[in-house]
Amino acid sequence: MSCLDEFITQRYDDILSVCRTLVKSDAEDLCNDLCLQLLSDREKYEEICKRGELWFYVKGSVSICRYSKKTSHFYKYKHPREKEKIWKLDRFEYEPTDWEQINEREDKLEFIEKNLKKMTWFDRELTRVYYHHNHSLRTLSDETKIHYQTVHQAIRRVKSKIRKAAKRNGY
């Protein structure tokens, strides 16, 4: 068993305790993500472990996650919507080379985002999950345990409202 494996096995409860103390909400998730990060780059963290500095590194990382708005923990657990936009340019099948086309598409995507904000929370979030996770109506219904017809009507309602708003604004 390597130094890193022993460290995680022996100090997991301590890491979890530090996460609960400093971060409070989502402490278990942060602890697991941190352990996965350690295991994903074994060579780097194995050296730190052999020098006896891994515990200080872990405590520092958790402490940073507590305050920083630039960590993956912040965007994943505290404010996932700040970084996530469901309407991305990469959703298009080809990359336009003309800057005018790119700007036009970005304007359309901003228009869609603006209109989504005006809709009910339920419709907006259901649409966000539908597109962001590439669900079909059936898989979204199965995953959320929301009746298929309710999902279908909500997605159709959102599409219809956005189409009407686009028609009014000349898109």
Domain boundary among 28, 48, 80: 80
Question: What is the number of domains present in the chain?
Answer: 2
Mean pLDDT throughout 39-67? 85
Domain boundary among 49, 80, 111: 80
pLDDT at 74: 59
Span 100-158, pLDDT tens digits: 776 777 788 888 888 988 888 888 888 888 888 888 899 888 888 889 999 999 999 99
| Residue found under tokens 């901003």 | 110
* 10 and 57, same domain (yes or no): yes
Mean pLDDT throughout 18-42? 84
The pair of structure tokens assigned to 53 is 């500095």
Q: Examine the pLDDT at 34 and tell me if it is beyond 80.
A: yes
Q: Can you give the pTM of this predicted structure?
A: 0.45
**Enclosing domain of residue 95:** 85-168
Whole-angstrom Cα distance, residue 75 to residue 81? 7
* 20 and 65, same domain (yes or no): yes
* 46 and 93, same domain (yes or no): no
